[in-house]
Amino acid sequence: MRDRFDKICLLAIVVTLIAIVAFASGFVRSDKNRVGDERGPAVERAIQEQVRANFLLETFEPVEQLKEKREYAAALLKVQELEKSYPGEPHLQILRGSILVEQGALTEGIARYAAAVRVNGDYVDANSRLNRRTEITRLVEDSLPGIKSSLEADPNPTYKKALKTLYYLQSRLAGGCE
């Protein structure tokens, strides 16, 4: 009886040990897998940026489409609607700015571009998918002479503010500090 009891105990110990080893090795393997999957912070950051850019470009695509069709009023209303879901999103300011400039609301449009760039520098970063350097450069180059001459003819605060904002955009394009 005692021999059988000893055998059962021994068997139980062996089974427990095997289970422990198997369990532990499972952890090690999963840890190894995790190590294998681990990405550096730079990659994580790039992925996040990619996901964010994709999200913005896809979500706000209807606005771009309306703008391309020159349906500016409809595009602005869509911007207004999206702003309810994404308040404070600088991409909406970029879109709003581009629509306003196309419609001739220059000073208001310039202000919107600057507001977006202040929050997200990707719009003047040549390496970003959100990059709008060409568009912003054209805005600055085309608007500066007109705003300057308007200011000379009529030194009013609206033009002064627009000029200051254009200089800010110019500085950001040049990579200058704010």
Give the residue with the Cβ less far from other proteins, 40 or 87.
Answer: 87
Concatenated DSSP letters for 100-142?
HHHHT-HHHHHHHHHHHHHH-GGGG-TTSTT--HHHHHHHHHH
Instruction: Name the one range near other proteins by CB under 8 A: 8-16, 40-48, 106-114, 167-175.
Output: 106-114
CB under 8 A: which stretch of 21-29, 32-40, 105-113, 120-128 binds other proteins? 105-113
Q: Is 107 in the site for other proteins (CB under 8 A)?
A: yes
115 near other proteins (CB under 8 A): no
**Cα–Cα distance for residue pair 161/170, rounded to 1 Å:** 14
Does 139 help bind other proteins (rule: CB under 8 A)?
A: no
Residue 149 CB contacts under 8 Å (≥ 6 apart), including other chains:
none
Contact between 88 and other proteins per CB under 8 A: no
For residue 172, CA distances in Å to 98, 110, 157, 167, 178 come to 17, 14, 23, 9, 7
Which x/- pattern, by CB under 8 A, does the window 49-78 give for other proteins?
A: ----------------------xxxx-xxx
Evaluate whether 147 touches 162 at the Cβ level (below 8 Å): yes
What is the chain's alpha carbon radius of gyration, rounded to the nearest angstrom? 30
Residues in binding contact with other proteins, number by CB under 8 A:
24
- Rule CB under 8 A: which residues touch other proteins? 71-74, 76-81, 83-84, 96, 100, 103-105, 107-108, 111, 154, 156-158
